Amino acid sequence: MKLAADVIAGLAEHLEQAQLQGHDVVKITDAHPEMDWEDAYAIQDTIRARKLARGDRVVGLKAGLTSHAKMKQMGVESPVFGFLSESFAVADGGVITHAELIHPKVEPEIAFVLKHELRGPGCHIGAVLAATDFVIPAIEVIDSRYRDFKFDLKSVVADNTSSARFVVGSSAVPAEGLDLRTAGVVMEINGEVRAIGAGAAVLGHPAASVAMLANFLAERGEAIPAGTLILTGGVTEAVAVKPGDHVQLRVQGIGSCAVRFA
């Protein structure tokens, strides 16, 4: 760790206030170039603790920047991990108030729900599939708190990987019998197809993203608890949305989900 405890607490408050008030900030590594990975995750953990202290709950975990399309779009080269809070959950077919956010974008994702705990190191796709209860389509709404969505990996980790809202579908399908690599993903905005992909865009297989998360948590002595919802990362580039937009995601063999921005 390179940053003092009071600096970490201050940066967590700074970023969480930006999220709660819906305003942007400059990326924090500009003022703290010495910040390391431990500092970045410590800031994210402090944001999580602030939310829990306010009565919010952690309802899932997420991996981000797991597809080449996303890595290329954001100019980075490795995945990042964050948490999903209950206050960010939106019902399938629900409405999100655009003005509460800064510059929201939507991404099509394949989410997993586990029936068994997953613990690394050495977690692999087979272990993930064996521990999976079902898969479910998800639209993630990301809203980097950083000006113009411009950041480096440590800044985005501290900002809880741009997590802002998420919607999961209401059809849960067991992973057995599905080929998640070839599962087609189609995201429409206002009836127009805006993003097309297949599950393999995410690290070759979306279950690989869950395995990577388990192995990452193992380095911190943690596991993914049974019952956890996991967003495996955008299959395609994220697409900016405006008030009035209706977003619909269809994932082949799994189902659909939708959300509207008011």
Amino acid at 126: G
Interface with ligand OOG (CB under 6 A)? 64-65, 70, 74, 107, 140, 142, 144, 156, 161-162, 233-234
Q: Which residues form the interface with Mg ion (CB under 5 A)?
A: 64, 107, 140, 234
18 binds, among Mg ion, ligand OOG, none (CB under 5 to 8 A by kind): none
Select the binding partner of residue 65 from ligand OOG, Mg ion, none (C-beta < 5 to 8 A, by kind): ligand OOG
Closest approach, Cβ 10 to Mg ion, in A, equals 27
Nearer to ligand OOG, 156 or 241 (CB): 156
Backbone angles phi, psi at 194, to 5 degrees: -115, -20
Kind of pairing between the strands at 229-231 and 239-240:
unpaired
CB 238 within 8 A of CB 142: yes
Q: Which residue has the CB atom at the shortest distance from ligand OOG?
A: 64
**Please, what is the minimum distance in Å from the beta carbon of residue 79 to ligand OOG?**
8
Specify the residue, 63 or 131, whose C-beta has the smaller distance to Mg ion. 63
**DSSP output for 57-108:** -EEEEEEES-BHHHHHHHT--S-EEEEEEGGGEE-TTEEE-GGGSSS-EEEE
What is the closest distance, in whole angstroms, from the C-beta atom of residue 30 to ligand OOG in the complex? 17
CA dihedral 95, 241, 153, 72 (to 10 degrees): 140
- In whole angstroms, the minimum distance from the beta carbon of 239 to ligand OOG comes to 12
Nearer residue to Mg ion within complex by CB, 206 or 234: 234
**Which residue's CB is nearer to ligand OOG, number 85 or number 161?**
161
Please report the DSSP string for 233-249 in residue order.
Answer: --SS--EE--TT-EEEE
Number of other CB atoms surrounding residue 202 within 10 Å:
29
Choice between 164 and 178, CB closer to ligand OOG = 164
Choosing among Mg ion, ligand OOG, none, which partner's interface includes residue 162 (Cβ < 5 to 8 Å by kind)? ligand OOG
Minimum distance, C-beta of residue 11 to ligand OOG, in the bound complex (Å): 17
**Residues in Cβ contact with 217 at an 8 Å cutoff, skipping those fewer than 6 apart:** 81, 120, 223, 224
Which of Mg ion, ligand OOG, none has residue 144 at its interface (CB below 5 to 8 Å by kind)? ligand OOG
By C-beta, is 65 or 168 nearer to ligand OOG? Answer: 65
Q: How far is the CB of 156 from ligand OOG (least distance, A)?
A: 5
Q: What's the helix, strand, coil split of the chain in %, to 5?
A: 35, 30, 35
Contacts of 131 (CB under 8 A, 6+ apart): 114, 115, 116, 117, 118, 226
